[in-house]
Structure 1
Amino acid sequence: MSKNKTAKKLKVLLFLNENSQFSKYHYLKLLVQDDIELVGIITNHNQELRSKRTKFFSMLNFFRRLIDRMYFEYKILPLRLKKSFINTDGIRIMRPNKLNTELASEIYSMEPDLIISAGYYRKIPNSILRIPKVGSFNFHPSLLPAYAGGNPWFWVIAKGEKYTGVTIHLMTSVYDSGDIVLQNKIRIENGITEQRLIYLTTIASINLVPSFIKKCKDGKLEMKPQVLSKRSYFGIVTDIDKKIQWSCNAESIKNLIQACSSGSGAWTKVSNERLWIDKVKIGNNISQDINSGMIINIGRKGIEVTTRDKILLIKKGIINNSRIGHLDIIKKLKLREGDIFN
């Protein structure tokens, strides 16, 4: 790793995912940095660009996203204004099908001082990671070594964490395990959605860029090894991850539903019908041994369902892409006391 100060701009090669907001705003931040030259971008192969997915729509989700988006756009407005004055014609954009030796040779010819990855979805081989003079670094949206892996935003909410953050770390052959350079800690607000947490971690991460670049230029990178015995790793969220396990405690189930609130909610089944649950309230302790997931009361305030420790009151849910209250859920699914969610 170079320790010499240099007056010239650092040549930076950026790995990003065009399907990721986290990625795209790191590009914007790097683009307006005066002390670097963004020489190239490696991004999705054309076949991997995601078409717009059909998502559950409701007015509530619409206004949630609108408010979060307005807040985020306000925060990054200076970047957008500055970008409009920058010529991007000289930035080389590559969409490789494979990260192979041929690509490594192309990257070597670009003579990058620094490789930065932000939200990139592929494992970058050592033959590429070793090329830059300063090093190859990843911007990860959690406080490593906790929540390594894909989509930590969902997992920190689902696990009921009170804090999360972002980490800049050296890239190695093992995902999200390299030495830590910088971190930025943020508090997870009560009732936060995954989308809002993505915005908050993106802002926290791009705010680290100037100090990180300065450390690289000055040869003053200080890195500390991760305590891998404290490492936790979670993969990309699947449909089964969103399934409610009624044998868990009520708080855990509520956290899962909150983690899913930017989409269609967490789901359960009753009589082979799938119900997406969007809003719940934790009730009283369970005073006797009752099967988890059992409906014990259907009333005007909600559907009371047993968990491992407390009653969970279902207030709203989603059936056939329609968000409805508990009374309509009862009618559509013909629910009765004693029915079991599974």
Structure 2
Amino acid sequence: MNVVFMGTPDFAVPTLNKIYEENYNVSLVVTMPDRPKGRGKKMTPPPVKVKAKELGIEVFQPEKINSAESISKLQEISPDVIVVVAYGQILKEEILNLPEYGCINVHASLLPKYRGAAPINWVLINGEKITGVTTMLMEKGLDTGDMLLKSQMDIAENLTAGVLHDKLMVMGAELLIDTLNGLKEGSIESIPQNESESSYAPIMNKNLGRIEWSDTAIDIKNLVRGTEPWPSAFTKYKNKKIKISNVEIVKKFKEGVPGEVVKVSNEGIFVNTKDDCLQIKKIQFPGKRSMKVEDYLKGNEFEQGVILS
């Protein structure tokens, strides 16, 4: 089976590597162009390009995948299947219809739930108990194509978006191989998505991490989990923006308004919410590294009675 692989970030790397290990013929890797990164704005290749070069696979980095030049290159290769994992560009029907087995996408949710750019974050923010990955046949709609296979996992109580990302990228690689094998054998029957069950996971932005202390403790904890490591949950302490990355819920033990710091100790910073109390275990002040509260308090103070905003 002649495969063209399209992907860009870390999430796509295990799938590319797995296809290669399973001896599929990856004739071309398509990824986004190198971009300036960091304080020095050094041109940096995407993770998929780095892996493709390591594996000795040709890399193609068009600014526009739907240009005449790009489509012509894909037509010359004549792939049996195009595998797409977090590529970063929308494909025209001319590309979608090119391979015999279609364009197969690995999506990090149990479709039709959480279509869109950030399913890993939103399943946690919304307090879901299960998630997984889905392979689907791509069409011109946003994550609306027929489903092929699914793999499911339970969501642990303290699982963060960063850890979930790493679990799902490995799960997705395994599921994609099962999907390719099933397509070759003719053992997979595609299933249309039920539109009435669909939901959307919009792209994340920095403001989404702002904590509203008038929310319930569980909602705030889920926000912290779902925005870790990026864009990070945050609040204001004496007009300073601090990031919060590890919290636990405890029963409210002292009355006070939402956002009020009711206790500060080596165990954490305890803040009232709408219902219970939130124990903050890790914080990060501007220009500083993330620290356990216990370590922060060794050389700094955090005032009890302050209202976080």
How much does 1:324 deviate? 4.6
Question: Secondary structure at the residue paired with 1:237?
Answer: coil
Q: Check conservation: 1:264, 1:318, Cα contact below 8 A.
A: no
Question: Secondary structure at the residue paired with 1:104?
Answer: helix
How much does 1:130 deviate? 1.1
**Which of residues 112, 119, 127 in structure 1 aligns to 2:79?**
112
Q: Deviations over 1:293-334 (max 9, x none)?
A: 233x23434433221211223333111323252695699576
Moved more, 259-268 or 223-232: 259-268
Q: Check conservation: 1:286, 1:309, Cα contact below 8 A.
A: no
Matches within 5 A, 1:148-187: 148-187=115-154
Question: Secondary structure at the residue paired with 1:40?
Answer: strand
**Which of residues 7, 12, 16 in structure 2 aligns to 1:27?**
16
The residue aligned with 1:309 is 275
Whole-Å separation in 2 of the counterparts to 1:314 and 1:210:
41
Q: 1:299 to 1:29 in 2, by over 3 A?
A: closer
- The two structures, once aligned, show a CA RMSD in angstroms of 2.9
Matches within 5 A, 1:203-218: 203-218=170-185
Runs of 4+ in structure 1 deviating by more than 6 angstroms, as ranges, are none
**1:242 pairs with 2:209:** yes
Instruction: Tell me which of the two structures has the higher relative contact order, counting C-alpha pairs closer than 8 angstroms and 6 or more residues apart.
Output: 1
How much does 1:11 deviate? 1.3
The residue aligned with 2:251 is 284
Q: Deviations over 1:246-268 (max 9, x none)?
A: 12110111122223444684100
Gaps of 5+ in 1: 1-9, 55-79
Q: 1:174 to 1:37 in 2, by over 3 A?
A: same
The residue aligned with 1:62 is none
The residue aligned with 2:303 is 335
AA of the residue aligned to 1:45: P
**1:42 pairs with 2:35:** no
AA of the residue aligned to 1:51: K
Report % sequence identity: 28
Gaps of 5+ in 2: 41-50
Whole-Å separation in 2 of the counterparts to 1:307 and 1:275:
17
Q: Check conservation: 1:304, 1:313, Cα contact below 8 A.
A: yes
The residue aligned with 1:73 is none
TM-score by length of 2: 0.84
TM-score by length of 1: 0.77
Q: Deviations over 1:5-54 (max 9, x none)?
A: xxxxx11111110xx222111111111223x32121111113xx363689
Whole-Å separation in 2 of the counterparts to 1:264 and 1:168:
27
Q: 1:302 to 1:270 in 2, by over 3 A?
A: same
Q: Check conservation: 1:279, 1:316, Cα contact below 8 A.
A: yes
**Equivalent pairs, count:** 294
How much does 1:191 deviate? 1.9
The residue aligned with 1:51 is 37
The residue aligned with 1:12 is 3
Whole-Å separation in 1 of the counterparts to 2:245 and 2:180:
42
Whole-Å separation in 2 of the counterparts to 1:145 and 1:330:
49
Matches within 5 A, 1:216-255: 216-255=183-222
Q: Check conservation: 1:257, 1:265, Cα contact below 8 A.
A: yes
